[in-house]
Every structure is written in C-alpha cells, then in structure tokens.
Chains A and B, each alone.
Chain A
C-alpha cells in the first residue's frame, strides 16, 4: 500500500524501461495519478505554497450574451486547422486537424479535416438530388427531404485521407507537429441511411460489381467503389456529430465507407451508377495508386490500415519539469477494433501495454493512455497498435522495406506517396523539447 500512496509516482509499478508505469495505475485510480501529476505532496520541485485567492473581473460582472450558435472561447483561438491554400487559389485545399491540441476521440465539426479539389460548393439542400442508376432494376432519385424519411443509423468512424502521414516517407524526420504529419484523419459520429436500404429499392442487377460515386462539386469528383463495400456498411450520411454535415465535409450528403480511403467517401454526393467494371477515374488511376520500390504500383488501395500516434507529448510540446506525465494518443484501423496499443519510452527496446479508453469501436478513433515518469533524461516515445483482425502496425524499418522511402525530404504539404501507417517516434530531449525522430 505504501508504494501506491507515493504521490510522486516513484513507487508505482514499472511496466517498461525509461519510466513507463503499468496502465492499471490509471484504472480506477484516477485520484492517484491526478495527485501525482499536480504540485504534489512531497514533490521536490513544488513551490512553497499558493498565494491567497483573489477575484477576477469576470467573476464580478454580468457575463457575455448567449449566442444562437456558440463557438470556442477566444482563449482557444490557436486551436484551429492549418490550411494548405489560405488564399483560395484555383487548386485543391487541405485543412488539417490539430490532434496535439485536442483530447478524447471525437473531432469537433469545425476542426474535422477536409480536402476539396474545386472549392466548397454552396449547395442549396432543397435543390440537391441524388440519383442511383445504371445496372439497377429501376433508377431512383432522392432528395434530402425524402432521405430524411428513411430509417437512420449513427456510426462513429474515422475518415482518413489516403495521403495522410505522407511526410513520413521522407528519408529524414521532418520537424513538424502531429497536425502536419497526421492531421488528415478525423473521427465523428455520422448519421444517415444505409446505402443497402436504397439499393434494395432500386434493385441490383447481378452484373453490377462496382458503383461509380460522383459529387456535385465543380470537378465532379468521382470514385469507383466495389459493390461488396456498398452492400456491407456503406452509408449516405446527412449528419456529423448530430448536426448537418459541414459544408467542407460534403453538405448536404456524402458517401461514407467506414475504414476506406477518404477520397472514396465522395462528398456532395449526387450520383451513384452501378457498373460492371471500375471507371479508373483520375484519383484512382493516378493519385491514390502508390508507387512501390520495385517500379510497380498498387491499385485500389481501399483500406486505411492500422495506425497509432502519440498526441501528447508530441512535437511542439515542451515538458517543463521531470515528473509524472500521461502519454496519450490515438489508434484506429480500417479493419476493425483496436485490440492493443503498446508504448515504448526507450525507442522500442521495451514496451508497456497502454490503457484503451472505452468505448473501443470498430473503425473509430480509440484513445490510449499510459502513465510515464520522465526522469529528465532523453527518451524516445513510440506507440504501436494491433487490431482485432490480427493486423499490426509495422515498424518504420519493416514499412520502408516493403514500401520504400523518398530520395530526399519532400515538402510537408506534398503527397509524394500514400498509405503510410508505420510507427511515429517523438524524441524528448533533456531540455524537455519534443522532436520528431526516426529510430
């Protein structure tokens, strides 16, 4: 018992090298960790004592008016997406989720990543139509209003761009935040109609093996989707975290293909054509077909494979003093639930199993946590995820053998290859600064 009462965390059960502490110290013992992380009884670095309490102006006056739609506090102005095309030039625009400034597993709607290739269309929902045709028994047209009459389901799932983490193909670690490296993935609760329900109404000609999904944006972004996926868990979604889809996320309706490459989740969805063969649209022919070291290229890389990364501490954070911290991060997989996340503080020499925050949902962000006592020396933090289907996040060395790396460091906004899912390493220096490193 005595060691569990040590509020400095020094007596907590070590789980792996360089200060990692057993995850069970977190479970049901939140007070222990909270106490240990604060100024702490007996903490050597704690100051002598707190100043007498005073009143601040906001506690002495009637507060601000209540807006019809509230936005975050003005003190959170730095918690925003980073933009690839802030001047809105005639090209595509990316916005990246600030994972290092967020917690939990739900991405707020205003911070969900977006990539739009022809700007964001200003769609009047009363005039928007979705048609399903081609190899169907009877083509049908749906409006937002008619779809709203259908039985709905809600599904919490991540969406990730096939080019997310592309800067990790660099031969040298780019000194960038987790937002720049992994910000093209977000997670929301999506509500809408199962596509299989609509396909029951149209009827499906057995010759149909694919459907071509197309948006109402000016480039009519289009992707080919196997009927297997369309009849499995695909949805036509209308709502994002309880409210209507954000304009940049596909308002008023988008295709949702849980676990599949973001670009296939066609936004502003207006047409689904059932066909026998894929269309080989530009995005599936060129953009999302990764070149391999042997000179060949992958085609139809549907899945976003198992991945994890530590969001705290990560590049840009500074640890002010040695002591007990909670390592926290995100894990997800396009092939099911996260089964296990292991964390290392010594660059992969030893590993401890992280606690997974409930609920652990299939194809959704899963928050992992592990207590860590930083002794003030160098540390290399890593996370590695496993999913229920047996898929394992590869080490960078394993990944590079199979998929190669770039000859020279790329621009951080470039998409010089796709579908990177290996381990991210953060190097904590003796000064508390966190750098991106390769092990």
Chain B
C-alpha cells in the first residue's frame, strides 16, 4: 500500500538524488538573505587581505587619534599602561604570555586592523571610521618599525607587511583541520 509516509520518503530520495539538496530533511525555516543585506555585519578580514575595506591612513594621521582615544589605557605612544603595550621592543624570552607583543608574536598585520575595528576603543567600540582604523594600524606598525614612518596602510599595502614571528608557529592538531 502506498502511504503518505511512502510519498515523503520517495520525495526525499528524489531530492537527495537531485544534486545533493537535503532540504527535505530539515524544517527549512531559515530566511534567505543576500550578502548585500549582511554587509553591515560582515567585518571578517582574512590574512590575505580579503574583506579589508576601502580607505587608508598614515602613521602621522594615526598619532593624534592614538593620543586622544588609545593612550589612556595603552600608555603614551603605546608603551603600555593599564592595557598592553602596543609599541615595544620586548623580546620573547621564556614561555610567559606576558612577553607577547604585536611585533614579537602576532603573525599577521591584518589582525591589528581587525581587532581595532571590532573591539576598540573598549569604552566606545565601532566608533572609528575605516580611515581612522587604517591610520591607527599604520601608527602602531610604524612605531614598531614594521613599516616606514610615511607608509600608508590600505587594503593593498596592509596584508603585505611581513610580521617577524610568522614562521615560528607549529600547527598543534593538523589532522583536525
């Protein structure tokens, strides 16, 4: 006897066989949304620069922004205060995470832009525009002598900045990726 259950089963087998769509197996309650509608939330940046926005900034432009909005926690010229030093010549000695700095540890320069844009300043996150974030990124990278004092950072130049510690990481569980 051909029952309603059979009909559902046959329908789902057909859908699976039609290009692997498994829609019949789920409640299908997700609301379709296009990438343009997601764009206001999409702040993901990859180390190759994918996702970096338009705009640019120089160390010189970053200096007054840093003094006004960052130095309260990170200290004058980023030398450290209640929050971590951002500009430092400290070397990585021993296993203490307290030794880590942007210069001696962070593998990708894009992370500097990404973290400022998503989280800083702590008391007023998402208040900086992209030019200001580029300028602060440039200010920090130049202070660490990772770029020249007049180098502008933008979507093309930032991913090219070579971070010194990048090749020192060991993938802990390669078979889980």
Instruction: Give the interface of B toward A (CB within 8 A).
Output: 21-23, 25-35, 38, 41-48, 50, 73, 82-83, 92, 94-100, 105-108, 110-111, 114-115, 118-119, 122-123, 125-126, 165, 168-173, 176-177
Contact = CB atoms under 8 A, between A and B. Distances in A.
A220 B119 contact: yes
A280 B97 contact: no
A219 B125 contact: yes
B33 A403 contact: no
Nearest to B116: A282
Given A289-B169, A299-B171, 16 more contacts: A90-B123, A149-B27, A150-B29, A220-B125, A280-B46, A281-B114, A289-B105, A290-B97, A296-B169, A297-B165, A297-B168, A298-B170, A302-B173, A302-B176, A406-B95, A416-B98
A296 B170 contact: yes
B136 to A, nearest CB: 14
B42 A273 contact: yes
Contacts, number: 191
A218 interface: yes
B44 A222 contact: yes
Nearest to B110: A280
Contacts of A279: 44-47, 114
A300 B96 contact: no
Interface residues of A, number: 74
Nearest to A142: B30
A293 B94 CA distance: 6
17 contacts: A90-B73, A91-B83, A131-B41, A132-B30, A140-B32, A150-B27, A169-B95, A197-B26, A219-B122, A273-B42, A277-B47, A292-B170, A293-B95, A296-B168, A300-B172, A405-B95, A414-B98
Contacts of B29: 142, 146-147, 149-150
Contacts of B97: 287, 290-291, 415-418
A149 to B, nearest CB: 5
A131 B31 CA distance: 9
Contacts of B82: 91
A207 interface: no
Contact of B95 (A132, A139, A197, A291): A291
Nearest to A229: B176
In the A-B complex, the 6 residue pairs with the smallest Cβ-Cβ separation, listed nearest first, are A140-B30, A219-B119, A299-B169, A220-B118, A146-B29, A404-B95
A281 B111 contact: yes
Given A273-B42, A406-B95, A198 B30 contact: yes
Contacts of A417: 95-97
Contacts of B105: 285-286, 289, 297
Nearest to B41: A271
B122 A139 contact: no
Given A141-B30, A275-B44, A279-B46, A407 B119 contact: no
Interface in A391-410: 403-407, 410
B46 A275 contact: yes
A131 B105 CA distance: 32
B96 A146 contact: no
